[in-house]
Each structure stands twice: as C-alpha cells, then as structure tokens.
Chain A
C-alpha cells in the first residue's frame, strides 16, 4: 500500500526520509516486475530491458542510470519498503503515475 505524507518538513522523521533519489537508486536492483515496467513505460515512454538497461522513447538502448529522476523515484518507492522517499525532484507526471499505479 502506498503511504503519502504532505508537508514533509513537519510530518516525517527526516532521518527516515530518503531525499537524494539519485543516490538511493544506485543501491537498488530492479528486476522487471509489472509495476517497474509500467513506471518506465508511463514516465519515459520506454521499455524495461534488464536490470542494467532500458529502451528509450527513440528506440535506443540506454543504461538504467539514464532514467529520469522522477522515474527513479517511483522505482525507489517500489524497491525500498518501510522508508519514506521524498518526491521533491519528481515532476507532476511522475507523481501522478506513482499515485495511480
């Protein structure tokens, strides 16, 4: 279940909130679950290929690290249970995908 908190400054223990999504993303391994594939398709218009690469909207194979920070935020949420993830760097489109997935 997705838990959402608004106004993080006052409501979440900062020590338990991941703010740097780019750093956190380097610590997880995505395995191609349905939700992960959906995130890449909906945010990037791309396709999951494997744990280290994806196909971008132009059909090019790119390293998974080239995903947008917004997409990485979703993938971090999916793969880092029991920790708050700050969506500060996520665009409106990525946050919408996260909520409606």
Chain B
C-alpha cells in the first residue's frame, strides 16, 4: 500500500509489485493521477510517471528507469500511443516495483496482467486491484 497524504490531493495505491492495467474506461482520473505523481516527484516523493507527452519531449523511459531503479510506483499514461514499445523494460521493472499502465488496447504484458480501478474525489485518488 502506498499512501501519500501530506499534500492537498491524497494518493492511495493499494497494489503489490507487478504490472497492472486500468479498466478500459475514459474519464476516470488516470491523467490526473499522472499529473499528481509528476508533481509529487518534483516535491521529492519516490514516485514516477511517464506519458506519451514525455516521449514526444524526448525524455527516454529507459534512462528514467535506470536512474530510478526503485520507486514506490511507476505510472505509464497514454501507453496506446507507444504502440507496444518498452514491454520488456516495464516487465523487468515490475518485478520489484508497482507498474500501472493506461492501455485500452488488448496489449498483454505477462498474459495474466493485473487489473486495477481508479477512483477520484476532489482531494483523493485511490487505485485498487480488481
């Protein structure tokens, strides 16, 4: 369980190490969680978030993960736009970290990927295993 509750928006992620995909709905708070984790990272929290936007900016996921081998959680937003890239990288990283992927295609990482749901209120975002 990851609980970060000292900031305006509280984050709770009740998952174990492994790779998880969000359920396939829009407007559930995934990108909001991405933005919050980015902000928390800048505050010194040991979390990571990466999106297609970052890829377009030239930020390399390989370098990000290499520089941060152990973090509480890694969130990948807009993975569908990455067209299957980084699969092995994410799988390897998920052996010792929580990896959550926003992926609406039927891409599979392990053949039995975990699924998770996200709930948000104005001041809290919660991620639970389904």
Contacts and interface: CB of A to CB of B under 8 A. Distances in A.
Interface in B18-73: 24-28, 31, 53
Nearest to A44: B27
Contact of B27 (A19, A22, A70, A88): A70
B1 interface: no
B81 interface: yes
Given A69-B31, A70-B26, A93-B26, A58 B121 contact: yes
A99 to B, nearest CB: 14
A43 B81 contact: no
- Chain A interface SS verdict (over half): loop
What's the interface size class on A, roughly?
20 to 34
A90 B81 contact: no
B121 to A, nearest CB: 7
Contacts, number: 49
Interface in A75-101: 88-94
B105 A91 contact: no
Nearest to B26: A70
Contact of A69 (B78, B121, B122): B78
A26 to B, nearest CB: 12
Interface in A46-70: 58, 60, 67-70
Question: Which among B24, B28, B105 has the highest number of chain A CB atoms within 10 Å?
Answer: B24
A76 to B, nearest CB: 13
Contacts of A71: 26-27
Interface in B64-110: 78, 80-81, 104-105
B114 to A, nearest CB: 18
B25 A93 contact: yes
Nearest to B53: A22
Given A69-B31, A94-B27, 11 more contacts: A19-B81, A22-B78, A58-B121, A68-B28, A70-B27, A88-B105, A89-B78, A89-B81, A91-B24, A92-B104, A94-B26
